[in-house]
Homo-oligomer: A and B are copies of this chain.
Amino acid sequence: MSPLSEPRWLDPDEAAAWRGFVTASNLLNRRLERQLKEDSGLSHQQYEILVHLSAAPGGSLRMTELADNLVTSKSGLTYQVTQLERIGLVARRSCPSDIRGVIAELTDQGREALRQAAPGHVALVRELLIDVLSREQLAVLAEGLGAVSARLRLDEA
């Protein structure tokens, strides 16, 4: 009778964890979005694109890789990269080993924009999340959510 049996609802602790996760996530995104837009004219998504490119060797990544890292749709990335290209922070190059491939590359201007935007962003992340939690809480959070992410990456493939 398992498949049709009563579902296992969340007990109070589980519900608290889930609700906390959703609420904190929404509030944080909202706040960071505002700060970035006001401070640098960038959306959180655009900022993340710059961060991932900056962290990649050569400051460049294939579109698909970038979309996977960012957890966004391919078409969404196409749009945002076009926007970033328009304002000169990112450039498109064609991939040498694959004619279909497109490589998004951080420009010098893009590096500069990131250098200028990062401190305020990091400070706010610290203020709203990192510094609110203890060292132990942070460690548990990193390990736990790392496992959750890994679990989610798995059944995508």
Contacts and interface: CB of A to CB of B under 8 A. Distances in A.
Interface residues of A, number: 54
A118 interface: yes
A10 interface: yes
A74 to B, nearest CB: 13
B137 A24 contact: no
A14 B123 CA distance: 12
| Residues of A contacting B: mostly | helix
Interface string A18-40: 10111111111011000000000
Contact of A8 (B8, B70, B126, B132): B126
Interface of A: 7-10, 13-14, 16-18, 20-28, 30-31, 48, 70-72, 118-119, 122-123, 125-126, 128-130, 132-133, 135-149, 151-153, 156
